[in-house]
Structure 1
Amino acid sequence: MPHDDHGAGHAHDHTAGANARMLGWALALTATYLVAEVIGGLWFNSLALLSDAAHMLTDVAALVMSLLAIALGRKPPDDRRTFGYRRFEILAAAFNAVLLFAIAIYVFVEAIRRFSQPQEVQSWGMLIVAAIGLAVNLVSMRLLTAGKDASFNVKGAYLEVWADMIGSVGVIAGAVAIRFTGWTWIDPVVAVAIGLWVLPRTWILLRDTSNVLLEGVPRGVVLSDVRAAIGNVRGVSGLHDLHVWSTSNDENSCTVHVTLDDAADPDTVRTAIVAEMERRFGIAHVTVQAERPDALCDAATRHA
């Protein structure tokens, strides 16, 4: 059954454009600070800053991938990609989640190494550079906040920056503590704490993106409720082949075969089901195939 997707497409284009601008600003800030952090790490002989710079490098890569994903996601459907390219955003977000896991593992390994081989750092220089990094991360987080709940892709970039912000706070606290106590073991302890904080949030992102890639029922939608809502539409006597999935986290789809009562009008039933799906579940892309009981019996007889 045809329906007008122009409004939804226009809204998505507007959202994607806004996300691209915010990601662009965040990328510019992060890349600039990355250069500064590398220079500061070398100048102050701080392995902690250089290690954090490696983390920042992955942030820059993640932001670049997010921008590419949005650019590809805007491409219209074609003869080979009938759903378009929006799922590339999900692939990029999943890659970001895997990247965050790799970073957390690196942090744990580096922390273990530093427990056995403490590193001497110039704490004041470390503190100044980390404070600048904190300011950059706060601005980047502010830029990405608006789009993080509407896009897995932006959410992945947001989590990267959020992890960096926590890292900056940890480095600042560690620098102050080391400056006044001389306890160099504080540095790996902070590193482990950052890794433990990042991992649960990374798992949530990976779980949600995997659900989309596996075409699972979108979070927040209960399939039994969808089945009951369709079954309660006047003129529906039964239903089968019900599928609910999403091509991205803000575009849910539904297909279903319904069996009609003898007196039901197919077009009226289809229109009512589409309206109910959008009203109750926010599913605007709905395909309904209406069948008569006698047609099902004839099909079963022919198959036998």
Structure 2
Amino acid sequence: MVQEEEPMLGTSPNLEIETGVVPEKNDDHAMPSKLSSKSLCAFSKQEISTLESEQRSKSAIKLCGLIIFYALVMVVEIVGGFKANSLAVITDAAHLLSDVAGFSISLFTVWASGWEATSRQSFGYNRLEVLGALLSVQLIWLISGILIYEAIGRIFHKHAKVNGKLMFMVAAFGFIINCLMVAWLGHNHDHHHQHHKHHACGHVDHDHERDEVSATTEEKTNLVSYSPEKAKFFNINLQGAYLHVMTDMIQSVGVMIAGAIIWAKPNWLVVDLICTLIFAVLALSTTLPMLRDIYGILMEKTPSEIDIEELENSLKCIKGVQEIHDLHVWALTVGKIVLSCHVTAEPLVCPSDLICKIKEFCEKSYGIHHVTVQIE
């Protein structure tokens, strides 16, 4: 990121700090007033708020669509599973039930995350998304445990024949719906981050040496696969929905294979039970990455995509910054990163301009829009 340097007070009589106040002059032609840093910052916040509102609406629409389609598939699989006497199909239907419940929780949290902050909830309700995702994961663990218990019980007890043909057809129907849902969510994930912009908090000047540091920092940031815009737009609930759909699609393939085998070999009933056990364990394992993310957010860990040492060194390279300490970076939810720090400023530096330069750098290089800086 190439930035311009902001001159320090007292260094040159011919240089002046840009503010919202027009300098007094004796001539008759007054210079037009320039937009203040506060106005630009306010405009940036307004744009971010608008983008977040639009994303909440899009997320809600997608979650509503998932709930409707998955409720339909769930009913088909429950009826088909009992008629075919297939525990694997019932397992798939049970996972769809957990998905519908999870999506409903996610839909509520997406809506609630737009509630305005209050005096008691000063950070707003963004972490409801994290709590909703946690409840969804717990539901998967509960249902998977019940189905594993049932499958183990069937291994040691004789049961009626399984209708392999019906089992295959029901699983194929579920697979087709899952493919459509994966394509739908995947398209949203790939293209959202292309429409985000940033507005600076003012004009910041840097000399050649600091330009190289800024350019190097931006290059390192861009080389990381993480994108702040991408993480913010693809929130934790849509990430969870995508994970659920992918898991169900893979499970549908397994049930189709098991149904085809039983269709060809009616006595191979153990295939149905093995399929149930494998995919129940798979469903549990796929929740581990999300549990790790939830743990990191609730424990207020520094987000994995942020190199705190590199961030601190980059902040020290900003002209006017003498020292950085008490630097803290955490996430309210995925993509909503918060930063606070104490800055020891060089003599004769304007505190408000220095704060604006730090905020601009954090926003452009790391996508951190909530920055609190204390100047010492």
The two structures have a TM-score, normalised by structure 1, of 0.89
* Equivalent in the alignment of 1:267: 352
The CA deviation string for residues 273-301 of structure 1, in whole angstroms up to 9 with x for no partner, is 1122122212121111101xxxxxxxxxx
- Find the aligned partners of 1:91 and 1:118 in 2 and give their Cα distance: 42
Kept in 2: contact 1:118–1:185 (CA 8 A): no
Alignment of 1:183 with 2:268, yes or no, is yes
Provide closer, same or farther for how the CA distance between residues 162 and 103 of structure 1 changes in structure 2, counting only shifts above 3 A. Answer: farther
Gap runs ≥5 in structure 2:
1-36, 191-230
Q: 1:137/1:109 Cα in 2 relative to 1: closer, same or farther (>3 Å)?
A: same
Aligned pairs (5 A) from 1:134-283: 134-145=175-186, 146-147=188-189, 150-181=234-265, 182-283=267-368
Secondary structure class of the residue paired with 1:74: coil
Larger RCO of the pair (alpha carbons < 8 Å, separation 6+): 2
Instruction: Please give the alpha-carbon distance, in whole angstroms, between the structure 2 residues aligned to 1:235 and 1:47.
Output: 67
CA distance in 2, matches of 1:234, 1:281: 19
Separation (CA, whole Å) in 1 of partners of 2:242 and 2:365? 30
Question: Is the alpha carbon distance of 1:44 and 1:101 closer, same or farther for their aligned partners in structure 2, counting shifts above 3 Å?
Answer: closer
Task: Flag structure 1 segments of 5+ consecutive residues without an equivalent.
Answer: 292-304
Q: Which of 182-191 and 104-113 deviates more?
A: 104-113
Equivalent positions of 1:9-158 (< 5 A) are 9-117=49-157, 119=159, 120-145=161-186, 146-147=188-189, 150-158=234-242
What TM-score comes out, normalization by structure 2 length? Answer: 0.73
**What letter corresponds to residue 40 of structure 1 in structure 2?**
G
> Cα gap change, 1:43/1:198 in structure 2, threshold over 3 Å: closer, same or farther?
closer
Q: Secondary structure at the match of 2:269?
A: coil
Number of aligned residues = 291
Deviations 1:118-162 (Å, cap 9, x if unpaired)?
Answer: 543111111111111111222222232224961111111222222
Largest Rg, 1 or 2:
2
* SS in structure 2 at match of 1:247: strand
Residues 46 and 194 of structure 1: CA distance in aligned 2, closer, same or farther (over 3 Å)? closer
Cα deviation digits, residues 97-131 of structure 1 (max 9, x gap): 22233344334333322332354311111111111
Write out per-residue CA displacement over residues 189-240 of structure 1, whole angstroms, 9 at most, x where no aligned residue: 2223323433333110111122112221112001111111112222222122
| 3-state SS of paired residue (1:234) | coil
Q: Sequence identity, in percent?
A: 31
Aligned-residue RMSD, C-alpha: 2.0
